[in-house]
Amino acid sequence: MGQVNRRSVLLGGLAAVTAAAATTALPSWANARTAVAAPAIHDPFQLGIASGDPLPDSVVLWTRLAPAPLNADGFGGMPDATYAVDWEIANDEAFSSIVQSGSVNAVRASAHSVHIEPTGLEPAREYFYRFKSAGYISPVGRTRTAPAAGAAVNQLKYCFTSCQHWEEGWYHSYKGVVRDDPDLVLFLGDYIYEKPSGRKKAELNPRRLAVPSDTTTLALYRARHGQHKTDVDLQAAHALAPWLVVFDDHEVMNNWNSTTSPASAARKGYGFQAFYEHMPIRSTAKPNGASIQLYRQFLWGNLARFHMMDTRQFRSAQVSGTACGPYRDTSHTITGTAQEQWLLKAFETHPATWDFLGQQVFFAQRDGDGKSTTCENPDSWDGYQASRDRITQGWIDRGVPNPVVLTGDVHRHWAADLRKDYFDHTDPIVGSELVTTSVTSNSDDAAPPSAAWLANNPHIKYCKGERGYVRVTATPAQMLADFVVVSDTSVNDPAKLVIKTDKSFVVGAGSKGLQAG
């Protein structure tokens, strides 16, 4: 679909909301309800709509009723009542050809969020969807189903992003994502930040300041998600295409792991609950207290398979210090045993040309001293080297044809070749890693690596300390990765906005290693 039509979807949906809000009479579809009327509310679709987790016959449709999403009680301005939410899926943005519709109750226990999982849709099809509740109509969203398993796919274009601290800037990256018109969007962690920015107030945007306290209760997690989701560019990107999302640490608390104290178990549960309530993910991910089933796989015909991973919930506690030795302990894990075995089992089959591992933290080795004795970041796979060795050896032994690791977290663009032995720079290249910079979260050190550091890490091909995202175009013959950067995210002036590709790399199918694009 072209740019003009896509914008008409978003603007047309907003116009529908405005028109509905301007009249005091309920439309016919609302008058027809048989349920007892809930208290009147004003426009409940302040957080927009979203879709995600596409399958060949299904896709998740999401919204949350929240006329006042920043309310400190976490209920988004909704009364303690049940509201019917009607939904429609159509072949066209005018909804003249509706293919499915239904109604679901939005209840206070789930912050009046809804997750619709229609089945029986056609594979590889574009659909439009919307919601209606309390006399209001939501914006219109566009989504698509995955191609059928094994179906020939000539091209897949997706964008992936990470780390969008509200206070640290405007979400210019999503203007670029909307412009790129991708088939999919991946988000790899830190959708919200549970704490205020550590940067000086003078360095922050005064129009995007948050409450000056940590997020520790379910009410505050809900309000924090609501705050982030009010961004109009983020809403536009959600309305454009289905998303595949995973979390990292800041959706709960900084650098948490499987061994958090009992006092933090409740906090994990609050973070998981609010995350589920605000993401277009399936009911299989609905949390059970301080546990959530987040890792999962998706096929895109015979072209791509996505392994969406959870490197936070099951990881061992970090080992203190910087010496590399403790990180090679075989009992030290970043995935947990069950997830590791799930991934290795998947590697036994090769249904698609490309295997993309969507995960959170830096995978490739970063050797700080050139002597293989120090680990630069224990919070990354460097801190869990035995896990990395098993995963890497796993795809080698099982003949995975084209493995590509997708990463967020570090607030800078990186591109790296992957080797079986990172301390042996003559070892064969066995895969590639693409790391997206942040949407807004700033780098403490945006300076490029020194020449000496790069000499110690010849597998690192690129690093850029600006904000942006990565655009990937995959075909049966090659994968093209474009590292996109945006202009100053502290300034919200369309006349000054610049979105450009800073660097591109190509990986040929069956050929390991990044080549300049």
pLDDT digits (tens, 9 = 90+) for 451-477: 888 888 899 999 999 999 999 999 999
Residue intervals of the chain classified under CATH 3.60.21.70 are 156-516
Q: What's the mean pLDDT in 153-179?
A: 96
C-alpha 381/C-alpha 479 separation (Å) is 24
- In this predicted structure, the answer to whether residue 26 has a pLDDT above a threshold of 50 is no
In sign, the C-alpha dihedral spanning 351, 353, 357, 358 is: negative
Q: What is the mean pLDDT of residues 75-86?
A: 97
pLDDT at 34: 33
Q: What is the helix (H) or strand (E) element at residue 187, kind and residue range?
A: strand 184-187
Across 32-60, average pLDDT: 84
pLDDT higher at 22 or 217: 217
Q: Mean pLDDT throughout 255-276? A: 94
Tell me the fold of 156-516: Purple Acid Phosphatase; chain A, domain 2 (3.60.21)
pLDDT tens digits, one per residue of 190-207 = 999 998 887 766 566 655
Q: How many CB atoms within 10 Å of residue 203? A: 11
Say how many CA atoms lie within 13 Å of 94 toward its Cβ.
2
Distance CA 415, CA 430 (A): 14
Residue 9 has which token pair? 């979807």
Q: Could you confirm whether domain 3-144 is CATH 3.40.50.80?
A: no
pLDDT for 36 equals 47
pLDDT tier at 210 (50, 70, 90 boundaries)?
A: low
Residue with the two structure tokens 């300390």 = 465
pTM of the model: 0.91
The pLDDT value given to residue 13: 38
- For residue 149, is pLDDT > 50? yes
More confident residue, 294 or 169: 294
Per-residue pLDDT, averaged over 262-268, amounts to: 92
Q: What is the pLDDT of residues 101-123, one digit of tens each?
A: 999 999 999 999 999 999 999 99
Cβ atoms of 459 and 365 within 8 Å: the answer is yes
Nearest to 185 by CA among 250, 254, 228, 234: 234
The one-letter code for the residue type at 348 is E
Measured distance CA(333)–CA(386) in Å, rounded: 7
pLDDT band at 394 (very low <50, low <70, confident <90, very high): very high
CA distance 458 to 436: 19
Residue whose token pair is 């789930």: 110
Span 299-320, pLDDT tens digits: 999 999 999 999 999 999 887 7
pLDDT confidence of residue 445: 59
Q: Which helix (H) or strand (E) holds 85?
A: strand 83-90
- Pairing mode of beta strands 156-161, 184-187: parallel
Q: Residue holding tokens 């801190």?
A: 383
Name the β-bridge partners of 468: 485
Lowest mean pLDDT among 27-31, 139-143, 182-186: 27-31
Return the higher-pLDDT residue of 50 and 204. 50
- What pLDDT, on a 0 to 100 scale, did the predictor assign at position 51? 98
**At 20, is the pLDDT very low, low, confident or very high (cuts 50, 70, 90)?**
very low
Residue given tokens 């630069």 in the structure block: 376
pLDDT band at 11 (very low <50, low <70, confident <90, very high): very low
d(CA 411, CA 438): 5
What's the pLDDT band for 237 if we cut at 50, 70, 90? Answer: very high
Contact 52, 244 (CB under 8 A): yes
Beta bridge partners of 515: 506
pLDDT at 322 over 70: no
- Residue 355, CA atoms < 13 Å, CB-side half-sphere: 24
Stronger pLDDT, 388 or 19, i.e. the higher one: 388
CATH 2.60.40.380 in the chain, residue ranges:
3-144
Note the pLDDT tens digit of each residue in 407-451.
Answer: 999 999 999 999 988 677 888 999 999 999 999 998 755 678 888
What's the mean pLDDT when you consider all of the chain? 89
Q: Which residues touch 408 (CB under 8 Å, ≥6 apart)?
A: 160, 161, 162, 163, 188, 189, 190, 248, 360, 361, 435, 436, 438
Residue with tokens 């499987």: 258
d(CA 122, CA 10): 24
